[in-house]
Amino acid sequence: MSQALDTHTAIAVIGAGAMGSGIAQVAAQAGHKVYLHDQREGAAATGRDGVAKQLQRRVDKGKMEQQAVDAIIGRIHPVSALSDVAESSMVIEAIIEDLEIKRELLANLEELCGPETILATNTSSISVTALGAKLSKPERLVGMHFFNPAPLMALVEVVKGLATDNVVAETVHATASNWGKKPVFATSTPGFIVNRVARPFYAESLRLLQEQTADAATLDAIIREAGNFRMGPFELTDLIGHDVNYAVTNSVFNAYYQDTRFLPSLIQKELVEAGRLGRKSGHGFYSYAEGSQRPSPRTEPECQSHENRLIVEGEMGPAKALVDRFRDAGLEIIERDGPGQLRFGDAVLALTDGRMATERAQVEGTLNLTLFDLAFDFAKASRLAVSVASQASDKAVSDACALLQKAGIAVSLLEDRPGLVVMRTVAMLANEAADAALQGVATKEDIDLAMQAGLNYPEGPLSWSDRLGNGRVFRVLRNIQGSYEEDRYRPALLLRKNHYAEKGFYA
C-alpha cells in the first residue's frame, strides 16, 4: 500500500461552502497547512470563520482546548487566486455538482499544479471517469467523497475512475485513514456505494406509504424501534431535503437506464413540486412549524387474553430470542416439532417470509395466521409490525396482539402487504449490496463498512443477510417478487448463487 501524504505537505480545498469548509477543517485538524479558495469574494474567509465558530462552541462546552482550536484555524489560509494553491500536494474540489464546471476547474488545476499533485473530487454523483476524460493526465484524478458534515461523518469513498492510478487511490485512502476517517474503495459507477445501495431504504417505505400500508409516523417508528436504524426514511428525507433526495434517486434511476429497482416515488415528486422539501422549507412529511407536533405511530391498544401457554413449533430462526422474552414474561412454553411458528390461544404467529399473510394462510391452511416483521434484535425490540390474514378471526388477532404485548412489545397492525417493513427493507438493501459486490463496485467488506460509517446503519446489509441464515433473504425476495410480479424485486445473481451453495457472503 502507498504511504499517506505527509502532514508537512499542503492541502488545498476549492469551494468554501459547508462541505468544502468541513473538509478544510478535517485536513487542518490532521496537521496540514490548508489553502481554502472560493471564486466568490470573501467566501473563503467566511468559511474559515464558520469553522472557528463551530470549534469555539466545543471550547465553550469544555470539549476542546482553546489552544487546539487556535492551531487548527491557524492552519487554514483563505486565498483569493486559484494559482495560490499550486504548491499543494493534493487539491480537493468541492464545488457545484455540474460536470462542465468541474471539468473546467480540474483542467485549470492541472495546468497550475505540479505533475505529482493529486487532484481529488468530492462529487457525490458525477462519474470520476467523465470528469477526468478531458485531462491530459486523468490518472492523477480520484474521487474523495466525504459525507456531510465532513468533520463528524466517518466515511470517505475513494472512487477510482477508469484511468485513476492505483497508487493515487491508495495514497488518498491512506491519507483519509490518517485523518481519522474510515475510507473505502469504490469504482466509478452511478451512486458509488452509499447512494446506490441506500436507495431501497427510502424506496420501499415510500411504496408502502403509497399502498396505504401505514402512515409515515408508523413506518418511521417501525424502522427505528424494530430495525434499530437511527432514523426512519421519512424523517431522514425531511432532514436531507426532498429536492436533494429525489434528485439523487432520479440520477441513479436514469444512470442505470431506468432499472425499476431505482424507480422514483410519485409521492416524493409531489412533495418537491409543492415545495414541501422538509425541514429547510418548514414542511415535508412532517410539519416543522413552531409549536407543531409529530403524529404518534399507530399502536394497538392493550389486548386481553387469559392464555398462559405458548406452543413453539419448530425453530424460530432469527426470532428465537422472542421465545426467551415470552418465558421471562411468565408464560408456560411447550416446544414441539413444526414449521417454525407460535400458537397462542386461537392465534398462529410466524416471521414473515415475504408473502402476504392472506396468501400464506390459504396456501398453508393456517387461517388464523398473523405475520410479524423482522427486528434487528428480537431480544430488545420495543415495537413490531404485524399483518393479519383476511381469514383470521377477531379472537385470533386479539390473541396475537396480546402475546406480543406480554413481552413488552408495542404492536403496529399494518395492512397486509408482502414482506412487511423491516424485512422487506433489509432484503432489498442486501440485494442491492450483493449486486454491487458482484459488479466489482467494492468489496463486500467495504460495502458493509460504507453503509455503517456513512449512514449509521446498525449492521452492514451483507453481514445482516448472513445473520438471518442461508437463503432467507433470497426466499423473501422471491416471494415478494411473486406477489408483485415485478422485476424490481428480482434477487441478485450472487444471492441466488449463495442460496444454492448454502453459504453466506462471509462463509
C-alpha to C-alpha distance for 161 and 159, rounded to whole angstroms: 6
Mean pLDDT of 141-145: 98
Q: How many helices (H) and strands (E) does the chain have?
A: 20, 15
C-alpha to C-alpha distance for 180 and 32, rounded to whole angstroms: 13
For all residues of the chain together, what is the average pLDDT? 97
Per DSSP, the three-state class of 410 is: strand
**Tens-digit pLDDT profile for residues 464-498:** 999 999 899 999 999 999 999 999 999 999 999 99
DSSP string, 48-68: HHHHHHHHHHHHHTTSS-HHH
> What's residue 1's pLDDT?
66
Confidence label for 282 from pLDDT (cuts 50, 70 and 90): very high
Which of 32, 37, 145, 283 is flagged as catalytic?
145
Mean pLDDT of 388-392: 98
Active site residue 195: yes
Give the cell for residue 328.
421471562
**Tens-digit pLDDT profile for residues 149-187:** 999 999 999 999 999 999 999 999 999 999 999 999 999
**Tens-digit pLDDT profile for residues 88-135:** 999 999 999 999 999 999 999 999 999 999 999 999 989 999 999 999
Dihedral angle over CA of 66, 69, 70, 72, nearest 10:
160
Mean pLDDT of 1-18: 94
**Tens-digit pLDDT profile for residues 307-343:** 999 999 999 999 999 999 999 999 999 999 999 999 9
**Tens-digit pLDDT profile for residues 406-450:** 999 999 999 999 999 999 999 999 999 999 999 999 999 999 999
The answer to whether residue 306 scores a pLDDT higher than 90 is no
C-alpha to C-alpha distance for 219 and 226, rounded to whole angstroms: 10
SS3 of 359-377: HHHHHHCCCCEEEECCCCC
Over pLDDT 70: what percentage of the chain?
100
Buried/exposed 247-275: b ≥16 CB within 10 Å, e otherwise: ebbebbbebbeeeebbbbbeebeebbeee
Whose cell is 471550547? That residue is: 59
Cα distances (Å, whole numbers) of residue 341 to 111, 353, 364, 370, 372: 68, 12, 12, 10, 11
CB 122, CB 19: distance < 8 Å: yes
CB 390, CB 241: distance < 8 Å: no
Active site residue 204: no
Q: At what angle do helices 242-255 and 266-273 cross, to 10 degrees?
A: 130
DSSP string, 62-107: TSS-HHHHHHHHHHEEEESSGGGGTT-SEEEE---S-HHHHHHHHH
The answer to whether residue 392 scores a pLDDT higher than 70 is yes
C-alpha to C-alpha distance for 394 and 314, rounded to whole angstroms: 26
Which of 88, 89, 124, 188 is flagged as catalytic?
124
Q: What are the structural domains, with CATH classification, of the chain? A: 10-188 (3.40.50.720), 193-213+215-294+421-507 (1.10.1040.50), 309-413 (3.30.750.190)
Over pLDDT 90: what percentage of the chain?
98
Active site residue 157: yes
Cα distances (Å, whole numbers) of residue 137 to 129, 273, 302: 12, 42, 68
Which of 122, 127, 195, 205 is flagged as catalytic?
195
Please calculate the CA angle 202-279-244 and round it to the nearest 5 degrees.
50
Which of 93, 110, 157, 204 is flagged as catalytic?
157
Cα distances (Å, whole numbers) of residue 48 to 76, 129, 179: 7, 31, 19
Give the cell for residue 282.
418548514
DSSP string, 238-301: HHH-HHHHHHHHHHHHHHTTT-GGGPPPHHHHHHHHTT--BGGGTBSSSB-STT--PPPPP-PP
Phi first, then psi, for residue 312 (nearest 5°) are -105, 115
C-alpha to C-alpha distance for 223 and 219, rounded to whole angstroms: 6
C-alpha to C-alpha distance for 503 and 184, rounded to whole angstroms: 25
The whole model's pTM is what?
A: 0.95
Mean pLDDT of 138-158: 97
Active site residue 100: no
CB 463, CB 506: distance < 8 Å: yes
**Tens-digit pLDDT profile for residues 206-228:** 999 999 999 999 999 999 999 99
Confidence label for 507 from pLDDT (cuts 50, 70 and 90): confident
